[in-house]
């Protein structure tokens, strides 16, 4: 992976030293593909719910000033599914939107209303990446704090990469994988930058599936920080069985 960006401006070094880090967890989705009979973040996995596992990992990272969970306005179930998410650094905002980008944008505004500033860092993490380890979050923070843009956890593509015709269901090309990455979360950017990026994407009618793609839309290049194969996102029914087996080995 690339070396950290050199930030030579003393004022930027001072800002980096004083900036706080916040986690933001968009948790307003319904998880239809997971087949969990409800929002996948509230499905049981081992001894607690998916989102409870996720939040426990984030709360174990001392450098996070707070963790904000963004819920749908009508969500009245969260507290019963994550009863241990409590205390002065455990924040909830029922302002989620119809898309991930809308929920993240609303969450950024909620952080600002709670005192977060433009130069503070926000680590956006999927509620359904419940195998997160605090060490991976620390690795991302270490790499991004001195960086001018920010970055994300990601993995190089290991398998042969194909494209297929949606109509015939047959392969139509084998794609080069040398420069391909699987994006993960957390994704870490300064609050002000990420707000501008999401607003620009919305104004242009661009669909963004993660925060890095919004930042890329401003012509910036996020840093790649090595992720982990266990940092999987629960999307399909089989993912839950795999996650349960991985939890048993810990």
Give 15's pLDDT tier (boundaries 50, 70, 90): low
Contacts 24+ apart (CB under 8 A), 77-81: 77/42, 78/27, 78/51, 81/41, 81/42, 81/49, 81/51, 81/52
Q: What is the mean pLDDT of residues 101-118?
A: 98
**Residue 64, helix vs strand vs coil:** strand
- β-pair type (64-70, 90-93): parallel
Give all domains of the chain, ordered by start, each with its CATH number.
12-150+185-241 (3.90.550.10)
> What pLDDT does residue 37 have?
52
Q: What are the pLDDT digits (tens) for 140-195?
A: 999 999 999 999 999 999 999 999 999 999 999 999 999 999 999 999 999 999 99
CA distance linking residue 188 with residue 5, whole number of Å: 14
| 187 contacts 124 by C-beta, under 8 angstroms | yes
Q: In this prediction, what percent of the chain has a pLDDT beyond 70?
A: 90
**Residue 136, helix vs strand vs coil:** helix
Q: What is the DSSP string of 70-128?
A: E--TT---HHHH-TT--STTEEEE----SSHHHHHHHHHHHHHHTT--TTSEEEE--TT
Torsion sign, CA atoms 194, 199, 204, 206 = positive
Residue 30: pLDDT over 80: no
**Cα torsion for 101, 232, 220, 195, to the nearest 10°?**
30
> What pLDDT does residue 33 have?
40
Q: What are the pLDDT digits (tens) for 191-200?
A: 999 999 999 9
> What pLDDT does residue 39 have?
86
**Residue 36, helix vs strand vs coil:** coil
* Short-list 131, 117, 138, CA closest to 51: 131
> What pLDDT does residue 17 have?
61
For 236, which DSSP code? S
Secondary structure element (H or E) that encloses residue 229, with its range: none
């Amino acid at each position: 992976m690339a070396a950290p960006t050199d930030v030579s401006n003393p004022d930027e070094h001072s800002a980096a030293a004083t900036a706080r880090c916040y986690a933001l967890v968009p948790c307003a989705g319904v998880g239809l593909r997971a087949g969990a009979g409800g929002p996948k973040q509230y499905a049981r996995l081992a001894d607690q719910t998916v989102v409870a596992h996720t939040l426990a990992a984030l709360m174990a990272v001392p450098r996070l000033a707070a963790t904000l969970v963004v819920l749908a306005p009508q969500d009245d179930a969260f507290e019963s599914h994550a009863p241990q998410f409590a205390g002065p650094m455990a924040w909830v905002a029922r302002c989620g939107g119809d898309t991930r980008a809308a929920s993240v944008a609303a969450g950024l505004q909620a952080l600002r209303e709670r005192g977060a500033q433009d130069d503070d860092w926000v680590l956006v993490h999927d509620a359904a990446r419940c195998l997160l380890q605090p060490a991976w979050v620390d690795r991302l923070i270490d790499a991004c704090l001195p960086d001018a843009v920010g970055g994300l956890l990601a993995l190089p593509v290991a398998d042969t990469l194909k494209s297929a015709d949606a109509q015939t269901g047959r392969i139509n090309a084998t794609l080069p994988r040398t420069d391909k990455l699987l994006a993960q979360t957390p994704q870490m950017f300064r609050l002000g930058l990420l707000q501008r990026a999401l607003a620009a994407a919305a104004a242009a009618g661009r669909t963004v599936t993660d925060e890095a793609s919004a930042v890329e839309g401003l012509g910036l290049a996020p840093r790649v920080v090595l992720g982990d194969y266990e940092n999987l996102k629960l999307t399909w029914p089989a993912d839950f069985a795999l996650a349960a087996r991985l939890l048993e080995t810990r």
